[in-house]
Amino acid sequence: MAPGRLLFPLDEVYRSAGIPMPVAKQVAPEDIPHPYRGLLSHRSDMTQVLERHYGGRIIVRALSTSQRGRWYTRRVLLVQEYSGRPVEMGAIRIQLDVFSARVQAQILKGHLPLGRIMRDASLDYHSHARAFFEITPNSDMMGVFWMREPRALYGRQTEVTLGGTKFGDIVEVLPLV
């Protein structure tokens, strides 16, 4: 992992919006406290893990989106469908042209998590965690997570593949659990 890119693609989204970067440091999975470790260090689909943990469907609230050529980037807040409670903030950068027009339209609509879209389309989708981190939230992150004061949060950076070919990168940050 290149130094300074631990939060890619969130770092690019924040830079382009002029939002100050949070402070993050890489940590080993075994150094992540419970229950964060179980929510981050696994081989399952993140959407499924969060839905099991919170006991219901998760939906997307797009915070920002951009598209440049074949690359689509968005920063989102994943929330419980029934309560609106935030369960993850993330940023993704993916190649849209690897998907059918129908899947692209669902992604661009911005309502369903990527994992659910991929599962519903029966695609051979996998995410692989490349790094885990502890992060001191900036004011933007504190706002989306309804935090009164900065406290350590945890997250991961993953690469996503389709049929064994990488098509994007995701950063996922969990709120206080």
- 35-69 pLDDT, tens digit per residue, is 999 999 998 889 999 999 999 999 999 999 999 98
Is residue 159's pLDDT more than 60? yes
CB 148 within 8 A of CB 130: no
To the nearest whole number, what is the mean pLDDT of the chain? 93
Query: 10-174 belongs to which homologous superfamily?
Result: Chorismate lyase-like (3.40.1410.10)
Please state the rounded mean pLDDT for residues 122-151.
94
Please classify residue 53 by burial: count the beta carbons closer than 10 Å to its beta carbon, then call 0-12 exposed, 13-18 middle and 19+ buried. middle
Q: What is the pLDDT of residue 4?
A: 52
- Report whether the peptide linkage leading into residue 175 is cis, meaning its omega lies within 30 degrees of zero: no
Q: What is the pLDDT of residue 82?
A: 94
Is residue 129's pLDDT more than 90? yes
Is residue 3's pLDDT more than 70? no
Please classify residue 170 by burial: count the beta carbons closer than 10 Å to its beta carbon, then call 0-12 exposed, 13-18 middle and 19+ buried. buried
Please state the rounded mean pLDDT for residues 19-33.
96
Closest CA to 8 of 164, 174, 165, 159: 159
